[in-house]
């Protein structure tokens, strides 16, 4: 198991904020993780599991161990004329997995194109976009139990998937390391086109025949228009979740703000409100505070212009939360993992 001390994390977090890890362990094999379980975890040391750092904000230097999961590999483990099971290791870039699938005509995750991060982080967050969530296509999740070093496989029914959450983010947080997932995809799956943005982009692209690949291309184009490239401008994508509020609160808010942007949910007692709309209506779109700010093309994206710290980003986020709370009586919840020293 390789181990580095006083390791800079700036190049492996998409906010590009400076931070040092007291100890850094790159894990490129299952043995590296098993060694971590037997040595570091058994001594109850402070640790954090890192993928590509695209959904993480380091507020300062990390005094414990950063476990950087870099397990490689994608393979087809079962295929019929209509169905296919795809296994991907936790360190695989999520978008590369999407491209692997759509280029072969495997459907189910094309709407999740260009979501940043790794395969290992996807089930923790239950990533989702444009009407599709990872839970819709998960067949199984492969893990290692940190307490024992043993391999454990989870079925979807055991994962407590919810809106941007799972059992690995709540009850079992830091008890298992995800090493890979198996997806159940469908070559004849129906296209998910209910979002207006997708319909408009497809119309603009003048596509004569739809495919999983063409839908993926459309969504890539949409996301590239809305989201800044973290190489050019530090960010972690959507900083806040779209809040769920009771239907009664929604009705009151709708009467005050007829232009309110919202989404229906499976639970008829709650409505999902656009966090971007709340932030923009509160006057923050394009707002800048020192070397951090709100992206001028999407109010849900907090950006780092350079020269700031993770604490500066948190201060801006707290300022936004307070004003949204005061104006709408809605508490915004970060989607980004905030790692305090």
User: For the chain, which domains are there?
Assistant: 4-69 (3.30.43.10), 74-186 (3.30.465.10), 234-339 (3.90.78.10)
Catalytic residue (one of 164, 211, 274, 311): 164
CA dihedral sign, ordered 80, 192, 216, 109: negative
The active-site residue out of 14, 140, 238, 280 is 238
255 catalytic, yes or no? no
pLDDT of 264 > 90? The answer is: no
| 293 beta partners | 288, 303
Q: How high is the mean pLDDT of the chain?
A: 95
Instruction: Quick: pLDDT tens for 30-71.
Output: 999 999 999 988 888 899 999 999 999 999 999 999 999 999
- Confidence band, pLDDT 50/70/90 cuts, at residue 136: very high
Q: pLDDT > 70: what percent of the chain?
A: 100
Confidence band (pLDDT; 50, 70, 90) for 146? Answer: very high
Instruction: Report the predicted TM-score, pTM, of the whole model to 2 decimal places.
Output: 0.90
**pLDDT tens-digit series, residues 69-100:** 999 999 999 999 999 999 999 999 999 999 99
Out of 123-137, 163-177, 193-207, pick the least confident.
193-207
What pLDDT band is residue 208 in, cutting at 50, 70 and 90? confident
Single out the catalytic residue among 110, 133, 280, 335. Answer: 335
- Retrieve residue 339's tokens: 């790692």
Q: Give yes or no for residue 244 having a pLDDT over 90.
A: yes
């Amino acid at each position: 198991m390789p181990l580095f001390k006083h390791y800079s994390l700036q190049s492996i977090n998409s906010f590009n904020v400076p931070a040092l890890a007291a100890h850094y362990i790159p894990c490129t094999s299952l043995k590296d993780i098993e060694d971590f379980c037997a040595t570091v975890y058994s001594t109850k040391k402070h640790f954090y599991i890192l993928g590509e750092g695209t959904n993480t904000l380091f507020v300062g230097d990390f005094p414990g161990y950063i476990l950087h999961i870099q397990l490689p590999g994608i393979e087809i483990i079962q295929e019929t004329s209509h169905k296919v099971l795809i296994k991907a290791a936790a360190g695989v870039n999520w978008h590369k997995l999407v491209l692997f699938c759509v280029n072969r005509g495997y459907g189910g995750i094309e709407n999740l194109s260009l979501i940043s991060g790794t395969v290992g982080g996807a089930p923790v967050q239950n990533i989702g976009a444009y009407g599709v969530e990872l839970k819709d296509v998960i067949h199984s999740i492969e893990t290692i139990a940190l307490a024992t070093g043993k391999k454990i496989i989870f079925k979807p029914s055991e994962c407590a998937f919810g809106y941007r959450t799972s059992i690995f983010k709540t009850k079992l947080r830091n008890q298992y390391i995800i090493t890979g997932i198996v997806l159940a995809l469908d070559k004849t799956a129906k296209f998910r086109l209910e979002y207006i943005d997708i319909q408009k982009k497809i119309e603009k692209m003048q596509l004569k025949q739809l495919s999983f690949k063409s839908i993926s291309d459309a969504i890539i184009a949409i996301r590239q228009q809305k989201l800044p490239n973290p190489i050019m401008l530090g960010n972690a994508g959507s900083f806040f979740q779209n809040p769920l509020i009771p239907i009664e609160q929604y009705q009151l808010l709708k009467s005050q703000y007829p232009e309110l942007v919202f989404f229906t949910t499976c639970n008829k007692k709650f409505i999902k409100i656009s966090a971007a709309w709340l932030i923009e209506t509160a006057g923050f779109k394009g707002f800048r505070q020192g070397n951090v700010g709100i992206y001028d093309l999407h109010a849900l994206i907090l950006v780092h212009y350079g020269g700031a710290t993770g604490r500066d980003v948190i201060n801006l986020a707290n300022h936004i939360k307070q004003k949204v709370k005061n104006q709408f009586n809605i508490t915004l919840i970060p989607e980004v993992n905030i790692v305090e020293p």
